[in-house]
Structures are given as C-alpha cells and as structure tokens.
Amino acid sequence: MILRRAFRTWMFIAAVALPIWPLVGWGIFGGGGWEFLVLMIVMPVLFVTMLIVAGLIWARPAVRRAKAVSWLDVGVLSLWQACVIGFGLFGPSSNLFAVVGVLAGIAAIWVVSWEFFTDAKKRAKQTMAEFERIATRPRMRPNAPLARDGEELIVIKEAQIPPKD
C-alpha cells in the first residue's frame, strides 16, 4: 500500500521531472544537434501526456477513496518511466528505450482510460441501485394504500378557487 500511495504523489512529480531528464542527459552523455531539436519537440508532448495520464488516475473515485493507485497503474507507469530514464542515458540502446517508451505511453493511456471508464460504470451502477432501493420503498409508491392495518384515514379536499380574470 505504501508503494501505491507513493506513486499517487510521484506521478505528478514525474510529469515534470522526467521530460527534463533527457535534456539533462543529452548535455551529460553527449548528443548531436538534431537530437536536441527532436528533444525540444518531443519532451513537451511527453509532459502533457504524463499530466493527462496522472489526471485520469487522480480523477478515479477508487483512487481518491483509497488514496492509492492500482497495481496495474504502478506497473504501467513504472515501465513507462523506466523507459524515459533509460532513453535519457543516450547509450547504444536509447533507440530501443524510445520505441518501448512510446508503446508504454500508449499502453498507459489506454489502461488508465479503461480503468477510469470501468470505475465510472461501477459507480453509476451503484448509484442506480441506491436510487432504485430508495424509489421502491412502500411510502414512495404512488398507488400504495396510505392506511394500514385498520387505521382510519381522513382525507380533506380543499375547494379550488377559480382564477381571477
């Protein structure tokens, strides 16, 4: 539970820190001018995408209730963030990290969206079940008799006053 709660906070920090890391890694481990140009275009996209994923996770009622992300979120986010870190090292396998990172990002968006809509569907079913439970109470039915078990019921009809012209 501690790890899942830590990821709940870390995902917003990672949305800012991880897009900066490849720029820092480019300076430390060396890279060409074209790589820097590509980084300047791709890293803002990574920032926005990570914020969208973090926002969808944060918006789920189950995450807010438990104050922790799901294990599936932890797995997908870990893979995605590890790929961004590996890409920022600019070693011989940075292209592999880039490809796997893009695929992990697409998977993260899909998984988080699926969990969001699944959680919303469960919440809607619970709300409808609660509504039906309240609506079917005996006192709420319009055709139910008002008097029960020999009780006497007195109905007073008020005369309607015609509207003035």
% of the chain surpassing 90 pLDDT? 51
Task: Say what the pLDDT of residue 148 is.
Answer: 61
Asked if 87 contacts 101 with a C-beta cutoff of 8 angstroms, the reply is yes
| 151 lies in some domain | no
| 55 lies in some domain | yes
Residue carrying structure tokens 């830590």: 6
15-52 burial, b at 16+ Cβ within 10 Å, e below that, comes to beebbebbeebbeeeebeeeeeeebeeebeebeebbee
Q: Domain range holding 110?
A: 2-139
φ and ψ of 64, to 5 deg: -65, -40
| 112 lies in some domain | yes
| 155 lies in some domain | no
- The mean pLDDT of 53-80, rounded to a whole number, is 92
**Higher-scoring residue by pLDDT: 54, 138:** 54
| 161 lies in some domain | no
| 72 lies in some domain | yes
Q: How many domains does the chain have?
A: 1
- The mean pLDDT of 102-118, rounded to a whole number, is 95
Q: Which of 49, 59, 57 is nearest to 74 (CA)?
A: 57
| 165 lies in some domain | no
| 160 lies in some domain | no
What's this model's pTM, rounded to 2 decimal places? 0.73
Helices of type H across 30-70: 33-59, 61-66
Residue carrying structure tokens 């008002």: 146
